[in-house]
Structures are given as C-alpha cells and as structure tokens.
Structure 1
Amino acid sequence: MDKNRLTIETPKGKFTKSNPIDGFQIISINEFKAIKSISSNVRNTSHKLYFDLIIFITHGKGEHSIDFQLYNYEPGTVFIIKNGQYHAWKENKEIDGYLIFFNADFYPKLGSGLKNQIIKLNNKSFLHPNFLIENNFETCIDLIKIIQSQYGLKIEQNQILKNLIHSFLTILELEYLKNHPFLNSNNNNNIFNQFYTILSNGTPLPNRNAIYFIAKLNTTYKKLNRLCKSVTSMNLKSFINLIIITRAKKELTRNKKSVSQIGYELSFEEVGNFSKFFKKQTGFTPKQYQKNQL
C-alpha cells in the first residue's frame, strides 16, 4: 500500500487520497462528500478500508452500514471502524461531522501508550461499533478542532498533539463503556475475544459447529451461549451464522474468489450446501448477492 495515502477498495476498484500528516488526517464529512475522486456511488457501496476510521456525527440522523449491518446515528454518535472492515454511507445531505483516519504509518510515531490505547478501543468495538456521546459532545468537538490546529509539526516532535489525541481517545473509551457496560469485564472479554478471533479471522474456518469452539476454548456450551447473549443479544448458533454470513459477503463483494472456494473456506464441503445456507440467511443465492454488488 502506498505510504501516506488512505485507500479504500470497492467492487469497481481502489481509490486513494493523500493526507498531510503521515498516516493521520481529520476532515469534515462535508469535505469528504466534496472529494470528486470518490463519487457518491462509491461512498454508498460497501467498500473495504485499509485504515482505521473514527466517524463522529455532529448533524443529521440516518443509517450507516458496517460489515453489512445497519446502524442508526444521530448527533453525538461515534462509529469506530477497523482496517479490513467494510462500510457504506447511506446518502444523507443533512449529515455532517468529522472523519478521523489512522493508518499503519501513524502508529509507530505515537509511542506504545497511545498505540495501545487505539488498539484497545478498536478491539472493544468489533461487535458494537457505534455509541452515543452525550455529556462530552462539545468537549470532543473542541478537541478535534485543536488537534487540527496542531497539524504543522510532526507527531514525533509534538507532545501537545499526542496529549490531545490521548485525551480524545480517553473520552471515547469512557463513553463507549457507558454505552456497553458488559465489556468492562476482562474475564468475559478474554473468552469472547478468543471465540470471536477463531470465528472471524481470515484463515479458512475448520468447523462451523459450536462443539468445535467449546473444545478450543475449554468452556461449556451453556457459558459460551450466555456470553453470546450478553454481548450480542443473540444465541450461540445465531451469532456463528452471522459471522459466517458476514465473511461470505465480504468475499463475494471483493469478487476475487469463486463461490465454491468461499464456501469451502467457511467449512462447507459442498457448494450446494453453502448456497442453501446463504439464501436461507439473506434471501439471495451467493451469485445473486454478488451480482447486486457490482
């Protein structure tokens, strides 16, 4: 990937935008909508990010798609989207706010404390990427504007900028945990994070059966099912199906593998079984879904 550029991938190709600080940029949503090289058609199509993104909504109400799930937003809503996830804008002329981009070039300049803070926030948000800021709404806007004013110096030489980013991220983390208090439990986090990592990472999935995950995690069906309900409001089987469908949609959107290969990597030995499963969950066959994305 080109250094100092922010890259997205859509079914119609890749788009990049240069940024003023190595791997870091804040722009308003209205500025983003005005970028001619990224058309509204691209913005409104699910596309893969090659950077981490924080979206802070200050005006407007609507829906935003992250990994093919729709989330409502209003003023004060924050979305945290990780490198490798897919998202899409739902056209809304009234929306405004800020986009905060981080890519791999930026993290080494932060020092371990700030880098770990961003990673920690990203890891918390994998299932609940949205939350609402109420008490610190104006404070966040002020911090963003001050951070923008510090663009002149490189991050390594600018302790003020590091402190400002730290303050902003600390507020986000505190507000996030207010919205999702269950994630305060480190023990629950560890078990569920391991489960989610096995289920969702990019390697071929060895098995779709809940028994496989229970054995890998040395836990019980009852405990893992209870954790799923607490974290996701879904039972264990439904959550496994959701992640499999999300992985399938990502691969179908990229349009770089055959349907049979995608099914095999998701633990379907027969492409027919994968197609039946996909249609039952989405209402479309894999090929129909893929065609709709192009």
Structure 2
Amino acid sequence: MSKKTTSKSIEKNLPVFELHAFSEKATWSEFYIENVRDHVKEHAFVEKPHKHDFYLILFVEKGRGTHTIDFVQYPIEAGSIFLMTPGQVHSWTMSPDTRGWVIFFTREFYEMHLSQNSLLEFPFYHSLVPTPVVRPGKGDAFKFAVRQLYDQYKASSKPNTRILRAYLEIFLLEAARYYNDSRQTTTHTLSFKIRKLEQLIEENFLTLKQPSDYGELMNLAPAYLNSICKDALGRTLSDLIQGRLALEAKRMFAYSDKNVNEVAEALNFKDASYFVRWFKKQNGSTPEEFRKTI
C-alpha cells in the first residue's frame, strides 16, 4: 500500500478512503485525476471492496472486466462511464490492457462559485435507485474533456480550479445527455425534489424511518412525495427508506464481523428477531444465508 494512503473505518475491514489519500495536491484542490493504469499501479488496494467520501468517475476507453457496486456486477467495456456517489461500496477487476481515467472530486469542489448548479440535478447521482453506468455511442466529447482535465491538473502544483470545474461540468453534462436519452425523464422540478428527498434519506435513514418524517422535512404531504416517487422511480417512499436501510444492513453483514444483534442495534432495531424477519422480507434471505453468498 502506498505510504500516502490513509483511510477511516466505519465498519471493520471495510476502509473508507479520503481524497487526500491519493494525492497531496488533492488535499487543497479537492480534485484528483489519473489514468487507470498508473492509478492502479500506485494504489493496488482499490481493487478490494472499499468506500470513498467523494464522488468518483471511471471512464474506460479500452479494456474489459467487472465493476461491482453495492453487490451488483456491471461489465466493464470500452466506452463505459461509471459515476458513483460517496458511500457506495465498490471494487473492480480489469484486464491488463485496460486504459482509461479515474476522476475524484467533492461536492464542495463542484459547487464552489456556482450559485445555482447542484450535483443533485444530474440524474445518475441517485443515492437510492442508482444506475451508475452510462455507455455513450461516441466518446469524443468525453475524451476531450478528460484530456483537458488531466493536462490542467498535471501542469502545475497549483492548478486553476475554475478551469478544472469548467471541464468537469462539460463531462457531466455530456454524461447526463446520454443518460437521459436512454431513460424516461421527469420534469426538472420533480427531478430536483427526488434528488433532495434522496439526500435527506441518505442523511437520516438510521433515525427517520417513516414517510411522514420526510414529508415534514420537505414541507410536503407524504402522499404527494409518495406519488412522485412512484411516477419517477417506480417505487414508493417507504420502499426507498426501507431499501436504503436494507443496503446498509447488507454492507455490515458483508464487510464487518458484527453479529445479528450488533447490526440490529447499529440500525436502531430494538428487537433482533424482528430485524431478522425484516431483513428476510427485504432481501429474500436471512442474514446467515446472505453471508454465505458473499
């Protein structure tokens, strides 16, 4: 492991890597870019399951493999773009001939000096119903933007962050265009409400577990929130809350040595036997059966 590498652990055996672990320059810039080959060579530990506390883009120009994100396996192929949010657990295996780029950045980096723009506006930055991969037919705009990002970042010990943000914006806007072309989209207003709701669930799912809790936070009727969730995502508001809680339970069983009682307590379930029944209803297996599949 690189000497520069540091991490903070939320769950035993599952590291959460901070941005400065990959580059001293990233400490102040809150941005990092590197070609895949050099990135993996310098930080081989990224091939094992881990989390990040920042946003991540993997842009593959050549090669093949598998990218596992929160227990779902996605094929890696030429032209694939993976866009991940903080907290997602992932790992990958790539063929030796894989070429491409990794880009890391924080919400603060993107939103600095932007009075209106928000990462919540991008459709692929769902925290609860993620589809983290985009496969555009042509990659010329992406190649141009990522080359400019790389050149700007490497040219100076103090790269111009405004220029970096501008080219990152081009990359994300292009990704959103291809993403929207392949999926049914909602209006801008409803889309933003969904993103805001997801953000609130991400921040509060351990303690707020009722639809009425989020209706109160957003000053909207729970029935209305439920309606827009079904229209935009095909799931109820309760499904989103319970799904996020179930994902955290799976992460704990997969990447920690906590027993059922400890996981139930960590997720604020007062009764372990009820938690086991709830887990089976959500995931189709008991915690013990789930652990055997990992």
TM-score over 0.5 for the pair: yes
Q: Which amino acid aligns with 1:197?
A: Q
Shift of 1:273: 1.1
Q: CA RMSD in A?
A: 3.9
Inter-CA distance 200–157: structure 2 relative to 1 (3 Å threshold) = closer
CA contact (8 A) 1:117 1:169 kept: no
Larger mean CA deviation between 229-238 and 77-86 belongs to: 229-238
Residue 185 of structure 2 aligns to a residue in which SS?
Answer: helix
Unaligned segments of structure 1, at least 5 residues: none
Give the aligned partner of residue 32 of structure 2.
25
> For the structure 1 residues 115 and 69, does the alpha-carbon distance in structure 2 shift closer, same or farther, using more than 3 Å as the test?
farther
Distance (Å, rounded) in 1 between the aligned partners of 2:230 and 2:75:
21
Structure 2 residue aligned with 1:174: 177
Instruction: Give me the whole-angstrom Cα distance separating, in 2, the residues matched to 1:64 and 1:244.
Output: 23
Q: Which amino acid aligns with 1:51?
A: F
Where do residues 98-247 of structure 1 align in structure 2 (5 Å cutoff)?
Answer: 98-103=101-106, 107=109, 111-113=112-114, 116=117, 118=119, 120-121=121-122, 124-126=125-127, 127-135=130-138, 137-150=139-152, 151-154=154-157, 157=160, 160-190=163-193, 192-202=194-204, 204-208=206-210, 210=211, 213=214, 218-219=220-221, 221=223, 223-247=224-248
CA separation of 1:114 and 1:253: change in aligned 2, threshold 3 A = farther
Count of matched residue positions in the alignment of Structure 1 and Structure 2:
280
TM-score (norm 1): 0.73
Give, in whole Å, the separation in 1 of the partners of 2:284 and 2:86: 28
Q: Deviations over 1:11-69 (max 9, x none)?
A: 5364674326323222222333334652xxx6243x11122211112234554222333
Matched letter for residue 233 of structure 1: G
* % same residue: 20
TM-score (norm 2): 0.73
One of 55, 59, 62 as aligned partner of 2:62: 59
Q: Distance in 2 between matches of 1:120 and 1:163?
A: 16
- 1:75 corresponds to which letter in structure 2? A
Q: How far did residue 143 of structure 1 move?
A: 2.2
Question: Contact conserved, 1:82 with 1:122, CA < 8 A, in 2?
Answer: no
